[in-house]
Amino acid sequence: MRDDHVWQQIQQLLHTAHQRVVLITPFIKKGVFQAALDAIPDNVTDINCVTRWSVAEIVAGVSDPEIVDLAIADGRAQVRLCHNLHAKLYAADTRCLVGSANLTGRATGLVLEPNLEVLVETETTHPEVQRVLDAIDHSSVPATLDLARQLREQAELIQSDEETPRIMIPGQQTRSARWLPETRRPERLYRVYCGRHRNIGRDVLAGVLRDLAELDIAPGLPEEEFAAAVRVRLHELPELRKLSDAGRLNLEEAREELVASGARTLEQAQRAVETIAEWLRYFDEVHFVPTGPWEIRQGKRIV
């Protein structure tokens, strides 16, 4: 059953705008975004849209980076990205709606079998609304056509790989299995992240893209910030807890723990710890102790 009550709330609010409109939502589909633009009076020339893009969400079909094309064609709207965005807020001048609904067909009720959503009206002067708006002003970055096309291309490459498992949406669903780094050449990650993958074989590229989807790093970062984000994600792995806590990690013990957990065969576990070691060598400040127990130790080697 179709129930477009939420869309009617958004549309009626946008119709009342005189000077400024703000659309803040993590997931936006092209058709609903165009409908929102059409609902805004022609005299309103200040339209700000804040969303987030990730390859995983594009593959899952909940987010269309092509909204930037629609914004450019409209001529009044600008799109910005905020990677940790979860808030949904729609504002027309001093009035706004806050709640759970994204700008998607299911959230707004513009398709059959809609989600159950809620939007509540308040004023943009509300302290919590101001807190979110201020945080977005400080953390959001411009969305670009190049970035939109790059992420769409990466999503299509993942979708065309029949061996790629279904990608879950970060922050929205529980993953079916815990991630471990896959690609053995971590220096390729930033190249592919930036869309530079023409000389990388298809099978290798698929693994790099799967790693990037699991890392879920904000798009458009400079290389130093990208590396810092990867380093944080690496140290969230249970296998690296001893490295973080004690400053050292015995790779043979890490391999045996993977086998004991049933997550990997001995051969798979050996490959996994070797891959983790390569990632640490590239992204972190560690050194290897090859004599005795094969260890990674935090910090530079003291000569």
CATH number, domain at 60? 3.30.870.10
Looking at the structure, do residues 80 and 134 belong to the same domain, yes or no?
Answer: yes
Please state the domain count of the chain.
2
Amino acid, single-letter form, for residue 286: V
> Regarding predicted confidence, which is higher, 153 or 263?
153
Q: What's the pLDDT score for residue 166?
A: 46
Digit-coded pLDDT (tens) for 10-66? 999 999 999 999 999 999 999 999 999 999 999 999 999 999 999 889 988 999 999
**Looking at the domain assignment, is residue 159 inside a domain?**
no
Phi, psi at 75, each rounded to 5°: 85, -10
Q: What's the pLDDT score for residue 274?
A: 85
- CB-count exposure of residue 191 (10 Å: 0-12, 13-18, 19+): middle
**Looking at the domain assignment, is residue 190 inside a domain?**
yes
**Looking at the domain assignment, is residue 303 inside a domain?**
no
**Looking at the domain assignment, is residue 70 inside a domain?**
yes
Digit-coded pLDDT (tens) for 128-177? 999 999 999 999 999 999 999 999 998 888 877 655 444 445 444 444 45
**Looking at the domain assignment, is residue 56 inside a domain?**
yes
Q: What's the pLDDT score for residue 165?
A: 46
Indicate the Cα dihedral angle 28, 30, 33, 37, nearest 10°: 160
Looking at the structure, do residues 222 and 291 belong to the same domain, yes or no?
Answer: yes
Last residue of a domain, one of 146, 162, 188: 146
pLDDT at 180 over 90: no
Phi, psi at 66, each rounded to 5°: -65, -5
What would the two tokens of residue 55 be?
């390859």
Contact of 102 with 25, CB cutoff 8 Å: yes
Give me the domain span that covers residue 284: 172-298
